[in-house]
Structure 1
Amino acid sequence: MILPGSASQSLAAALARELDEPLAPVEYQRFADGEGMARAPFEADRVVVVAATTSDEAHVELLQLQDVAGEQADEVVTVLPYMGYGRQDEAFREGEPVSARAVARAVSTGTDRVVLVNPHEAAVADFFDVECTVVDAAPRLAEPLPADLADPLFLAPDASATDLAESVREAYGTGTTDHFEKHRDRDTGEVSMAPAETDVAGRDVVLVDDIVATGGTMSEAIAQLDDPAHTFVTCVHPVLAGSARTRLARAGVDGVWGTDTVEREVSAVSVAPTLAEFL
């Protein structure tokens, strides 16, 4: 049985089709005082809860869905397509919480196993008190790209995302990979970004990252490209908060694509086939 969170209904439906499992009937309610409730009457031996925790409300809803699942099934698997608070994997200043750890511990209380899709920090998997499997959905990002890219360059915003760019390049079947490096002008002190080794002039450039949140990093990177033929942005988690989509459009991108880990207009490809391999 596949049990969807309200932020992951399309992905849950796609996963149900991939696994040929039923989709649980579920209702999401909001009371006058602002509290929510998720109700899902069903019978099943195993329940796969699919819920991106894109907000504090989604976190609470996930805990409720896990509670329902635990009461009605022998095994509960929790799929976190996108793990909110997953970027804070350490305390950066005295007195700060390790938010990813706090969230992981809470999620662990209501499940037998967790599946994560491309967490921003791989170390967060160790915070769970139950078995945690990390799934790489980056190769899926090759699917929506134009089939006729000209001498494509798959470009990561920094060295840490190079593996993602390489995964997309391999899935696409041709092209090269590079990443941005920061350079500080000795005279002015100004910091600029540029691909580490590659000339981009006349080439189709595909920027690859795990998350696009505000669009600030991507827009800054695009501004540093020297005369590319076309520029495309791909990401596993298209959070696109606030004016992120406008920022990217103003930067001159020719296309933006993400997966359905976060369900947005740009979610052009589903991670369901990849998840199904681990379920």
Structure 2
Amino acid sequence: MSELSVISGKSSENLAKELSKKIKANFVKSEIRVFADGESKITLIGKLSKKKSIVVQSIYPPVDTNLVQALSLITKAKENSSEVTAVIPYMGYARQDREFLPGEIVTMNVLGKLFKSAGA
């Protein structure tokens, strides 16, 4: 097995496949089941590397759904791999990178903390 795994989120499956071929890494597909209430259940199909994993998931609309799925994939990857890198081709909330008006939340700061906590 390769020392590197590329894990695809549903929003970037083709990109993840191409990346895994290009860098000769093990491709790990995610299977996502969405329940009636909108919750996602994610199952990884394939074996993760114990050394390094790359999670590929865009965070475009539906932004919150794709964000939670990305964080879930990163968390699972970190449980198995010693090093995890997140590749986010499109980052929702990127325009909320500073407080433009008093009282606005800098959502990118929040997301940075979430990604770090998840293991990326």
**TM-score, shorter chain, exceeding 0.5:** yes
Q: What residue number does 1:62 align with? A: 70
Bigger share in helix: 2
Tell me the equivalent position of 1:72.
80
Tell me, yes or no, if the aligned pair for 1:37 and 1:64 is still in contact at 8 Å. Answer: no
* Counterpart pick for 1:4 among 2, 8, 12: 8
1:85 and 1:25 map into 2 onto residues whose CA distance is 26
Q: TM-score, normalised by structure 2?
A: 0.86
How far has the Cα of 1:46 moved from its partner? 1.1
Look up the SS of the partner of 1:26 in the other structure: strand
Paired position in structure 2 for 1:15: 19
Matched position secondary structure for 2:118: coil
Residues 32, 41 of structure 2: 8 Å contact kept: yes
Conserved? CA contact 1:39–1:68, under 8 Å:
no
Q: Does residue 43 of the first structure (1) align with residue 51 of the second (2)?
A: no
Gaps of 5+ in 1: 113-279
- Trace 1:176-187 onto structure 2 (pairs within 5 A): none
Q: Secondary structure of the equivalent of 1:62?
A: helix
**Do the aligned residues in 2 keep the contact of 1:3 with 1:49 (CA within 8 Å)?**
yes
In the TM superposition, what is the alpha-carbon distance from 1:33 to its structure 2 partner? 1.5
Structure 2 stretches lacking a partner, 5+ long: none
In the alignment, does 2:111 pair up with 1:103? Answer: yes
1:163-184 CA-to-partner distances (Å, cap 9, x unmatched) read xxxxxxxxxxxxxxxxxxxxxx
SS in 2 for 1:12: helix
Which residue of structure 2 aligns with residue 256 of structure 1? none
Q: Does 1:28 align with 2:32?
A: yes
Taking structure 1 as the reference length, what is the TM-score of the superposition? 0.39
In the other structure, the counterpart of 1:52 is 58
SS at match of 2:96: coil
Higher CA-based Rg: 1
Deviation for aligned residue 1:23 = 0.7
| Residue-by-residue CA offset, 1:100-140 (whole Å, 9 max, x unaligned) | 1111211121234xxxxxxxxxxxxxxxxxxxxxxxxxxxx
Identity %: 30
Q: 2:89 aligns with which of 78, 81, 86?
A: 81
Q: Distance in 2 between matches of 1:25 and 1:88?
A: 31
SS in 2 for 1:93: coil
The alignment's C-alpha RMSD in Å is 1.3
Number of corresponding residues: 112
Give the 4+ runs in structure 1 shifted more than 2 A.
none
SS in 1 for 2:32: strand
Q: Decide whether the 8 Å contact of 1:70 with 1:111 is kept in 2.
A: yes
Residue 58 of structure 1 deviates from its aligned partner by: 0.4
The residue identity in structure 2 corresponding to 1:38 is: I
* Partner secondary structure for residue 34 of structure 1: coil
Higher relative contact order (Cα pairs below 8 Å, separated by 6+ residues): 2
1:238-257 to 2 correspondences below 5 Å: none
